[in-house]
Structure 1
Amino acid sequence: MIEYYGWISLSNSTYESDDYEMKFILDKLTTFISKHKLDDSSGFIKIHIVNVSYQLIVSGNTNHYSQDIADIFELYNYVAQISQGSYGLLYVRNDELIWNGNTFSNKKIKG
């Protein structure tokens, strides 16, 4: 089984976020999520707004490595590409790997 948990703090800049730019980024993310059917996959994905800060939250598990997991990795790479001020973490546990069966690996993002 593969399980994953992650978050990304979304921002278009490392200094001060621009509302127009953020709307553009959020539209691109929503399109990416729909195109890859991540909202229909075996997990949870949500763009969440807290105090005018944007967060992307992901969580889920699958029986085996599948396209769902590959798409989550691709999503993190995509966010780093389109949203230069974003940062976050993704924790993944894959019990199918003999050398890594009971530990989490992580991927960090820094736009």
Structure 2
Amino acid sequence: MFEYHGWITVRQSADADSEESALPRIVDELRLHIDGLAAPYLLDLRWMNGEPFLHIGGHANHRTAPHPVALYEHVAAVAPGSYGLLHIRDDEDPGHANQMRVVRLARGAVTHHTEPLLSPCVPELESPFPGQGGS
């Protein structure tokens, strides 16, 4: 099972005084990139209250292609002031099959972490199968 839910606040720069003058062009480029992904799940880029936000989510039997982390890496490259989180549950990920993972986008960098509030998935989110231990 491959489940993911995420959001990104799209920003041109992390500088508070930045004019964000290239932001409309960046958002247009991101929209073209997203349109080319042909993802079957939630993939939404929209302006709200004068700022662009990207929302993504999906649930498949196996890892999807393109992998949603690749989108976060693309945003980090074209809009390094952006920030957001992506939660991933992948029961086929070696070493992390019982963990909810968090991908963090901040200041042009993408990092991977274990989500302590939702891990280990069994027993935090689901009960163990009968006869099976907790974690």
Give the Cα–Cα distance (whole angstroms) in 2 for the partners of residues 7 and 97 of structure 1: 22
| Alignment counterpart, residue 109 of structure 1, candidates 105, 108, 112 | 105
- Return the TM-score normalized by structure 2: 0.70
- Return the TM-score normalized by structure 1: 0.84
1:1-111 paired onto structure 2 within 5 Å: 1-14=1-14, 15=16, 16-18=18-20, 20-38=21-39, 41=40, 43-68=41-66, 70=67, 72-97=68-93, 99-110=95-106, 111=108
Distance 1:99 1:24, change over 3 A: same
Deviations 1:20-78 (A, max 9, x none): 4111111111111111213xx2x10111322212111101111111314x2x1111100
Figure out how many residues of one structure are paired with residues of the other and give that number.
Answer: 105
Give the Cα–Cα distance (whole angstroms) in 2 for the partners of residues 36 and 24 of structure 1: 19
Structure 2 counterpart of 1:29, one-letter code: L
Mapped contact 1:7–1:89 kept (Cα < 8 A) = yes
Structure 2 gaps, min length 5: 109-135
Larger radius of gyration: 2
Residue identity over aligned pairs, in percent, reads 30
Structure 1 gaps, min length 5: none
Give the Cα–Cα distance (whole angstroms) in 2 for the partners of residues 84 and 32 of structure 1: 16
State the Cα RMSD in Å: 1.6
SS in 2 for 1:101: coil
Give the Cα–Cα distance (whole angstroms) in 1 for the partners of residues 44 and 37 of structure 2: 14
Give the Cα–Cα distance (whole angstroms) in 2 for the partners of residues 17 and 26 of structure 1: 15
Larger RCO, structure (CA 8 Å, separation 6 or more): 1
